[in-house]
């Protein structure tokens, strides 16, 4: 886990958001296949989470400067 966190620190915002988007899409696809979510709900959740992560990241990076 420590190596993963170190690699995340070396990635830029777009790369990290891309990784999270793919992970969330995979999880959403799994939940759709199991019948827990419908596709529209999964898309809304993935979009919301990626937007929140991007907003928080932007706020934190601007606060550091």
Q: What percent of the chain has pLDDT over 90?
A: 6
User: 65 pLDDT exceeds 80?
Assistant: no
| Residue of 52 and 2 predicted with greater confidence | 52
Q: Tally Cβ neighbours within 10 Å of residue 13.
A: 12
Domain map (residue ranges) of the chain: 2-64
Closest CA to 50 of 9, 15, 10, 7: 15
Return the pLDDT at 34. Answer: 92
């Amino acid at each position: 886990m420590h190596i993963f966190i170190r690699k995340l620190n070396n990635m830029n915002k777009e790369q990290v958001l891309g990784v999270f988007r793919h992970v969330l899409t995979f999880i959403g696809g799994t939940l759709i296949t199991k019948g827990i979510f419908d596709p529209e709900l999964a898309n809304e959740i993935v979009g919301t989470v990626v937007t929140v992560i991007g907003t928080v990241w932007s706020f934190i990076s601007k606060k550091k400067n």
